[in-house]
Each structure stands twice: as C-alpha cells, then as structure tokens.
Structure 1
C-alpha cells in the first residue's frame, strides 16, 4: 500500500500540474481498487453489488471536480478513500438503507436534558476557583456556560484536543476533591 500511495500521490501532483497522461494513468490505477471497495461496501450493507459501477463513476467524477482541493503535500490515498466512503454512503442513502454512523462523532451536537444542579452556584464557583486557570476556564465555558468544545477552543485560542484534556483533568480533580469532602 505504501508504494502504491506514493505512486498515486506523484501521479496526482503531475496531473494537477497539467500532465493529462499522468491523470489518465492515475484514474486507470485507482479504478479497480475503487470498484473492489464499492463492491465490499455494498455487500457489507446487504445490497446487491451490481450498482458498484455507478458508485465508482460517482467517485471518479467527484475526484475530477474536486482535484483542485487536494493538498499536494498530503498523501493522495486518504483523500481518495474519504471521497469513496462518502459516495458509498450517499448511494446507500438513496436506496433507503440505514447507514451506521458512530454516535460519538456527534456527541457534542445531540441535545440532552439539562442536568439538575446539585450544588449551590456559590459553592460551584468556589470549587472552580481552586482549579488551575486553564481547567477553570474550560470547565466554566463547557459545564457552566454550556458552550461546545469547538466554541470553547476558539474562545480560549487553544486546540479542541487541549480543551478535552483540560476538561477531563479538571473534572477528575473536582471529583477527587468532592470525594474527600
């Protein structure tokens, strides 16, 4: 796979630079792989594989229309397979089949009933003050102000990963503190 991805990446770079022969070779090289992936995806979904050619054509059309969006500093295969996955999902949706999407991907956007407050606001504020600044700011934003991880990261000018780490550490520190009280 490594060598194939390097070859595809080089061909796509050449194609984006205007080499139509390289683009033709790239499409010829990826088509059998896409066809096999489409067939596997349809079979896994309990669908007949006879529609795999339509999916392959949708993928190739999307690659053609979006090739200017590919970052030539990145490997080509992940970009290609992301398009392929999305086109397979689109095809399955058109057929009215259910598509499994991991709910963890949408945990921040799924509405839930607000949790009942168990401590008075003044006591919560006191506990938050005992935390390091970043943990306090993250917990204030997410737990008290009900902001999302994404908006908290933007507001505090830190990465979403750093927000998650600070949230986890802050909650663990508060839980430990509350257990001892």
Structure 2
C-alpha cells in the first residue's frame, strides 16, 4: 500500500467513524498503531531512550487522536494532523524519559537495603547539628526554637508553656530562625540578643 493511498484510506475511515462505522475506525487505529510503533522505536533508538516505553507512547498518541478526532478538518490532509499529534506526544515522552533517566540511581541489592540505615544515621547527625546550632542561641531564643521548631508546638501553646506573651514568642522565634539560617550558611556578624 502506497503512503498516499494509505492516507486516503485512513481519512475515509475517520469519516466513516463520524457516520457511525466503528469497525472502519478500529481498523484505522490498528493500522496507525503499527505505523506509530515503527516511528516511536526509531525516534527512541536515535535518542537512546528506553525502547520498552514504546507501547505506552503509542497508546498515548492513539488516545490523543481519539479524543481529538472531531477536530480534524476533513477538507484538509489527514497525515499532517496525525503527525503533529504524534510529534508532540513523542517530544513530551522523550523529555519525561530523559528526566526520569537523570533521576534514576543504579544501586545493587546491598546498597538498596542499607538506605534506611543511612537515612537514620543522617537523621541523627542532622539532629546533632541542629541541637549544636540551637545551643549557640541566647537562652530565651533556645527555648522558643526547641518548643516551636523541634517539638512542633504552636506559638500560642509555646507562650503558655514558656510563660511568655504570644507576640514575644513569635518575635523570639523569628529572630532565632534568622540567626540559625545565618549560622547554617556560615554568615558572620550574627549578633546575640
């Protein structure tokens, strides 16, 4: 079948679908899916992307075509319309797959099983760092930072717990955060109030 006659056959099938001939439309979708598989595999191969994703992308394209099938102008050629949808879906998939490839980490089973232990160790180390930084704050700010920042108490509850005015608690917490950020980023000239 020549490309021009294939396009004409597909256009006829799209028109038949509009008049209720679902079997012609189904044949079109099957033929076009086979055509798409070759294109998507070729593009993914050239881009060095995972070929296992081919079928998912083909299905995304077919769904887009199906959902937009009434937008095709029968007075215009079908292939540019089909190709535009396919091109954009392939570009979107390629971007997504490249992004996912950058995020993937190849670890062996032993490394994967040690991750929770590493996370707990890192959590304990960061808790020690936070405690060390808080201990460098003035006493009033230390207690506010611990109660609100670590214990998760609201400013009104912290005011009651610490016997302070709620506005004073808010001001002390704001100043403590500002100093902690400065200390954590290594900024000098952090005054103690």
Instruction: Please say if residues 49 and 97 of structure 2, whose CA atoms lie closer than 8 Å, have aligned partners that are also in contact.
Output: no
Task: Give secondary structure in 1 for the equivalent of 2:74.
Answer: coil
Q: Which has the higher helix share?
A: 2
Match of 2:65?
63
- 1:90 matched to 2:92? The reply is yes
Instruction: Please say if residues 57 and 93 of structure 2, whose CA atoms lie closer than 8 Å, have aligned partners that are also in contact.
Output: yes
Structure 2, unaligned runs of 5 or more: 100-193
Q: Relative contact order: is structure 1 or structure 2 higher (C-alpha 8 Å, sep ≥ 6)?
A: 1
Match of 1:74?
76
Instruction: Please say if residues 12 and 76 of structure 1, whose CA atoms lie closer than 8 Å, have aligned partners that are also in contact.
Output: no
Match of 1:171?
none
Question: What's the offset of the Cα at 1:57?
Answer: 0.3
Question: What's the offset of the Cα at 1:69?
Answer: 0.5
* Corresponding residue pairs, total: 97
Structure 1, unaligned runs of 5 or more: 98-181
Post-superposition CA distance 1:64-88 (Å, at most 9, x none): 1000100011121221111111110
Post-superposition CA distance 1:36-56 (Å, at most 9, x none): 011011111111211100000
Post-superposition CA distance 1:2-43 (Å, at most 9, x none): 111111111111112221111111111111100101101111
The CA RMSD measured in Å over matched residues stands at 1.1
Larger radius of gyration: 2
Runs of 4+ in 1 over 6 A off after TM superposition: none
Instruction: Please say if residues 40 and 58 of structure 2, whose CA atoms lie closer than 8 Å, have aligned partners that are also in contact.
Output: yes
